[in-house]
Amino acid sequence: MQFIWIMCVVLSMAIYGESLSDINTNINTSSSSSSSQQRRYYEGSGYTTDVQIIGSEKRFERVRFVPSMFDAWVELFVTAQTYDLIVQLKDNGYVNADGTLKDTVLNLNVPLTPYQVIQFGEIKNHYKNKYTSVWIIEELIRVGVLDNDGFLTDTQSFSDEFNAMDFDQYTDAIRTTDLRFSNNVIAEEMARELLRLLQESSMSIHVTQQETTRYQSRQDGFVESFLDQLGGSILGRIFYKDQVKTNKRKVVYLPNINVVTMFTNISFGFSKASYQKGALGDVIFYGGNTQRVVSFQLAKNNDDIEHLGVGVSFLSKQSQGFVGGQKIKASGVNVQVNELRDTSGHTTWMSARFLSGQFGMTHDTQLSFGLANFTSSFRGDSQLGLAFGFNGTYHIMRYLGVYYGVDTNFGFNLFANDSEDSTTWAVNRINVGFQSAIAPLRLRVGYEWVTDQQSIIFEGVKANVGIYF
């Protein structure tokens, strides 16, 4: 008895007068199997809870299907319907050689405008109104997959353990739903995806996990550590017993296919000019293989320095960026001549470049590199060099876009000493602004900075007129 009394006194000292409510306040259970949560017991010491997954199983649940559960599939279906119509327009002769629609599209029950390019958004909005989540539920009820209350029919033979093969009985019925695709392969893929939605929405995952709480002493000294560990372990066995819990998690359906990859016969190309005939930018469905433009620039700053420029670009479509991505890759050539001049003289630089870029319905980016030449009336010589550029356009809406560009031209001396500047000349440009176009004219208004090797030599508002030909 005396020994037990002494141990109780020692334990009361070890827990340092901490109340039960204080202990409970400082205990937090970790919910992650990959991390541990420390529970404070004594300064430098604490309780650590480890959570381990010891089992999981898939269970079948008879759920009531509501429209929101089909939203993701309907979005997929509407996109497929849109691309399918675009394919049919081309295959059935409704598209002109320049990518515009013929007047015969007026006979179709779809909002299409003759002599304008194909508008993906308008067609998709039409199908969004036609095919809704309520529509697909009504179709599944009509073919006998769902009952009038939204539950799966004939589930009496389903086992509690989830078995995907139990749903095979609905395959033929789903195929009779009114999916309406011109290609049976696409209809079959959408039917399979619909079956997968029914499967995953009827499944839950039950995860069994074990929580183990242990006390870890970090006291200095053998005796102090022993007593602290002993006291913490005894309390831990009383208040933090090992627990086994089972959590249920519902599975949410997510589309498993990229629908646009099923329409490999859709192609994209250049419009004749930016925003021409309904185009959102420079790329349209079934567009041309080339685009050409010549541009003229004029700018003047407060010091009466003028910046004059002319450029010619020729782009040729190389390949579609990726299947269904509404993008193309293109390359070509660019030649430009720029001049800064005032009453005292002029500085001229010109370049011939190779262009390569990616063009989409609403944006494009281009890289360029080539040879440059620099002449100056102040220096009285002409020097060769290199040219590099990066520029792009983002079309906010039809008839309005923003453009940007960074351009550098420089010459260098390969035989310069380390103490000398190896760059013999440099002209750099940064420009940003807005653009609009009424074919075949494109108007750009923006701001530009031109620098040499050391300072800004021109800064001001510029205007640029492009002519597509």
Query: For residue 224, what pLDDT is reported?
Result: 67
Q: Inform me whether the pLDDT recorded for 7 exceeds 50.
A: no
User: Which residues, at least 6 apart from 303, have a Cβ–Cβ distance to it below 8 Å?
Assistant: 342
Query: 234 pLDDT exceeds 90?
Result: no
State pLDDT tens for residues 55-64: 788 999 999 9
Listing DSSP states for 370-386 in one string gives: EEEEEEETTTTEEEEEE
Query: CA-to-CA distance for 301 and 313, rounded, in angstroms?
Result: 27
Q: Measure Cα distances from 82 to 59, 79, 106, 158 in Å.
A: 37, 5, 17, 37
- Asked whether residue 448 carries a pLDDT value surpassing 70, the answer given is yes
What single-letter DSSP state applies at residue 238? H
Count of positions (residues) in the chain = 469
Region 240-264: what's the mean pLDDT?
Answer: 84
Q: pTM value?
A: 0.77
What percent of the chain clears pLDDT 70, i.e. is strictly above it?
86
Q: Compute the mean pLDDT over every residue in the chain, rounded to the nearest whole number.
A: 86
Q: Is the pLDDT of residue 206 over 80?
A: yes
- Provide the pLDDT confidence category of residue 417 given band limits of 50, 70 and 90: low
Q: Mutual orientation of helices 120-130 and 71-91 as an angle, nearest 10°?
A: 130
Higher pLDDT, 94 or 219: 94
pLDDT at 446 exceeding the cut of 60: yes
pLDDT tens, residue by residue, 380-393: 778 999 999 999 99
Measured from the Cβ of residue 363, the count of other Cβ atoms closer than 10 Å reads: 19
Give tens-digit pLDDT for 135-154: 999 999 999 999 999 999 99
Q: Which residue has the higher pLDDT, 235 or 28?
A: 235
